[in-house]
Amino acid sequence: MDHFVSPSLLAADFGNLEKDIRMVNKSQADWLHLDIMDGVFVPNISFGFPVLESVRLLSEKPLDVHLMIIDPDRYLTRFRDAGASVLTVQYEACTHLQRTVTEIKELGMKAGVALNPHTPVSLLKNILRYIDLVLIMTVNPGFGGQKFIMESYSKIEEIREMIDSGGYEILIQVDGGIDTTNAPKLIKTGVNVLVAGKSVFSSSDPANTIQRLKTLT
């Protein structure tokens, strides 16, 4: 299958989000990625519901929402109502993960589970049949612009083998330090969705960078 590109709004110009969203609309991007941070699960605070609702009104791309928050179950319906098409929760933040992802799917969204760099993919063995996406964090979550963690490749290979051997239709997404130099190897290793922030929005031609990420093989 062709891979997806999901530009991360965390790296956009916060003083002119509308301009950057409209750029993404016109680009070859498949989704628009939003990181929701609460300042507790990760040491940073990002978007709240008012921003997400405004982005939904502007974006022509499905909203790919990653919750880096504690106790996400409290807000699943609100994120659906605010416009999320894909909702990913952190493995480390969910006490009853199967219940959480089941509710996400019942609310009509695709359900994803994200793993921090130190969390082994083997822990997902018994949850794979309930989800649509696995997000491998390739940096420690909380801030954009970090350096890609090289050990991520072996994690991707392992989760790809788990998915394929089980016959599951699950997308593998990566987020953190993704650019046109490491994207080809990531795709070859088995990644389906590239989340790119700084490499897109800090480039001289963001739409062209998205196109390059999209057309890599």
User: What are the pLDDT digits (tens) for 108-119?
Assistant: 999 999 999 999
Active site residue 35: yes
Catalytic position from the list 20, 30, 64, 175: 175
CATH no. for residue 193?
Answer: 3.20.20.70
Domain total of the chain: 1
126-175 confidence digits (pLDDT tens): 999 999 999 999 999 877 667 899 999 999 999 999 999 999 999 999 99
For 158-168, the pLDDT digits (tens) are: 999 999 999 99
Q: Give the neighbor-by-neighbor strand order of the sheet with 84-90.
A: 4-7, 193-196, 171-175, 133-137, 110-115, 84-90, 63-68, 32-37
Identify the active-site residue in 30, 35, 38, 64.
35
pLDDT tens digits, one per residue of 6-64: 999 999 999 999 999 999 999 999 999 999 999 999 999 999 999 999 999 999 999 99
Residue 38 designated active-site: no
* Domain boundaries, position 32: 4-215
Residues 76 and 103: beta-carbon distance below 8 Å = yes
Is pLDDT of 1 > 70?
no
What residues contact 143, with CB distance under 8 A and at least 6 apart? Answer: 44
